Structures are given as structure tokens and as C-alpha cells.
Amino acid sequence: MKRISKGEEEMAAERPLVAILMGSDSDWPVMAAAVERLVELGIPHQAHVLSAHRSPENTGRFARSARAKGYRVLICGAGAAAHLAGAVAAQTTLPVLGVPLDSGGLGGLDALLATVQMPAGVPVATLAVGRAGADNAAILAAQILALGDARIAGRLEELKAAMSRGVEEKDQRLQEARLANRSPAVGTSRIRPARARARVGRTKAR
């Protein structure tokens, strides 16, 4: 069994507010970004594999019962003919955030169109393709929850401040490198609020 940090144990004991659903376990490496971000923001969550096509009954049952179970936001990631978010949105009044994934051989365009082009009346808030979309889905879920939770709002403020500091540091490195007439060391490190960084251990789908 994977070792989980204290923060995750505490979160596991709380009622999950966000569900992270994915069409296959092959989606996990990308959807883990959403889990990691929710852990950082201290938001109780649960991850499941459910397929709109391969397990439609279970998918519908989950969507119909999600509100009563206490979930407040549903994140759905799928690739190829990515109908998971739409199928879930069809059966719940909770906000559904769709993450198109690049697994169908068309660079994710297939999943993007399948997720975003919902008919009027059944919205899916569609994020970017891939890891950025998974990360942003978690942040957007936190922003929705923060409407009624000052602690989550505070953590989001911290995240914004950390991002801004990160850009300043990158600019400083660029200036220093130019003064020394060398190329700057570039990185795409993920931005984390300082307090959350300590809390993140290895993530675990519960």
C-alpha cells in the first residue's frame, strides 16, 4: 500500500466534495494532476474509473446519486470519443468539469470536441486538453467551493501569490543570465502555495 501523508489521511476521513472520474485507468497519469492539486488545496475528494461506453449503468448510477452523497463538483476526464462528462452532466445538477485527454490518436482534438460540444441545456465546463486541463479542473472546482468556504478561498489566494512569485523568480533568472551572457535555466515547475508544498506526499486514488 502506498504511504500517504497526514494531510491525505485527514482528507480521507472527511466527506469527499469533489469526484474525479476517468474513462480508464490509462487516464490516471494525467488525471493524477487533479488529485495532486486537490490534495494541495486540502479538498476531500475521491477518484473512480467509470466509462460512458463500457459501464454506462454504473456511470449513470454514480451521476444520479452524487449530490445525495455530498459531492459538490464532478471532474470527468476521458479520451477519444470522450462522452463521460456529457453522460454524467445529463444525469446530475452538480457542476461538471470536463477534461479532454490525448489518447485517441488525434492529439486530443477528438476528446476536446466530444467534451466541449454539448447541446444547449446540458453544460459541461470544458478545460484544456491533458495535464493543464486536469490541474485547472481541480483549481476551478476549488474556486466553486470557495464561494461558500473562506478557508479554500484563502488557499487559492496563496496559490495566486505563489504563481506571481514564480514568474518574478523566472524574470530575475532571465535578467541574471542575460547580464552573464548565457542562456537562462528554463523550467516548467508547477506552482504550489508554500504551505501546501509540505502537505503533498504521494497521491492515492481513494
Of 26 and 164, the one with the shorter C-beta distance to ligand AIR is: 26
> CA–CA separation, 200 vs 206, rounded Å?
15
Q: Residue 26 or residue 172: which is nearer to ligand AIR going by CB?
A: 26
79 versus 193: smaller Cβ distance to ligand AIR? 79
Residue 97 CB, nearest approach to ligand AIR (Å): 15
Single out the residue of 18, 8, 39, 23 nearest to residue 145, CA to CA.
Answer: 18
Q: Of residues 12-41, which lie at the interface with ligand AIR (CB under 6 A)?
A: 23-24, 26-27
Rg (CA), the chain: 18
Cβ at position 170, least distance to ligand AIR in Å: 33
Helical H segments across 97-181, by residue range: 109-116, 131-146, 150-179
Nearer to ligand AIR, 27 or 40 (CB): 27
Nearer to ligand AIR, 56 or 70 (CB): 56
The answer to the question of residue 52 lying near ligand AIR (CB under 6 A) is: yes
Cβ proximity to ligand AIR, 66 vs 84, nearer residue: 84
Apex 174 CA angle, 168 and 175, nearest 5 = 90
CB of 182 to ligand AIR, least distance (A): 42
Give the count of residues interacting with ligand AIR (CB under 6 A).
15
Which x/- pattern, by CB under 6 A, does the window 60-99 give for ligand AIR?
------------------xxxxx-----------------
CA geometry: angle at 88 spanning 87 and 91, to 5°? 95
Name the phi and psi angles at 105, rounded to 5: 85, 0
Between residue 153 and residue 192, which ones bind ligand AIR under the rule CB under 6 A? none
Q: DSSP string covering 65-105, please? A: HTTTTT--EEEEEEESS--HHHHHHTT-SS-EEEEEES-SS
Give the integer Cα–Cα distance in Å for 141 and 74. 8
Applying CB under 6 A, the residues found at the interface with ligand AIR are 23-24, 26-27, 51-54, 78-82, 101, 103
